[in-house]
Amino acid sequence: MSIRLEHVSYAYEDNSSKKNYALKDINLEIKKEEFIAVIGHTGSGKSTLIQHLNGLIKPTSGTIYFDDEDIYSEGYPLRELRGKVGICFQYPEHQLFETTILDDVCFGPMNFGKTKEEATEIAVKCLKDVGLSEKLYQKSPFELSGGQKRRVAIAGILAMEPEYFILDEPTAGLDPVGKDQILNLLKKLHEEKKITIILVSHSMEDVADYAQRVIVMNGGQVMYEGDKKEVFSHKKELEEAGLAVPFYRQVCEELADRGFPIQRDLLTLEETKEAILEGLKGLRGK
């Protein structure tokens, strides 16, 4: 089971005869139960790519398959697909529209056949999962802060119980505690409920901490794709594309350059800390 893109291109329509491609010949497969990060500078094609994954944007050319079925074949149930592949957009106000927070989160489940009582039970659980206080449930979504709106939008997608959950910069506007809460929730959903997570992020540290596989977009094309350690080994090329490697990899490289006994490709705080302690023990033992 997977989402598969074969030779997918997308060109914006304008008045000129020249096509302006946002995506060019994309070939990708996203399998069930993966935790994937999509990175790239502004204008690289990240947001356009993710909107193809559940049929919100139709490619100019190429084919998109969900579980080996062409999602644009005649009679294909796109509405059902969008329940299985949920997208939480970068700007949450674009997907909030009900009069209260609770009603907003109830909308998805009710739209897919749940009763009001069933939808309310699901919505309350999802709102608790994202850390929103019960005293806010009857407020309008538009009375909330940016970070609170983002939590409501995430809860609204979770309430539809998606198989794939795509999030475009989900921690933007959140304080460090809120950011960790949302990322740890995604980790829990991935590990316990086996939901496939596709995270668009500008934070290389978050990518290093949570993702298993990384897709690098550049100029509408896949520049690199694979295991995060392998992808972040291309430091020079990533910097030329306007990206950085995770902070702790930079620390390890600088230490290694100065002769300290440490691997150069470590990515996270925890593994870097352990490696430094081991290196110090080794030096003291000499």
44 Cβ contact list (under 8 Å, min separation 6): 217, 218, 219, 220, 241
The correct answer on CATH 2.170.190.11 for the domain covering 31-59+77-243 is no
Element (H, E) at 205: helix 204-210
Task: Give helix 269-284 / helix 247-257 axis angle, nearest 10°.
Answer: 20
Residue intervals of the chain classified under CATH 3.40.50.300 are 31-59+77-243
Q: Locate tokens 């298993």: which residue? A: 212
List the chain pLDDT tens, one digit each, 286 residues.
Answer: 899 999 999 998 766 667 789 999 999 999 999 999 999 999 999 999 999 999 999 999 999 999 999 999 999 999 999 999 999 988 777 788 888 999 999 999 998 889 999 999 999 999 998 888 899 999 998 888 888 888 899 999 999 999 999 999 988 878 888 888 889 989 999 999 899 999 999 999 999 999 999 999 999 999 999 999 999 999 999 999 999 999 999 999 999 999 999 999 999 999 999 999 999 988 887 6
Give the global pTM: 0.90
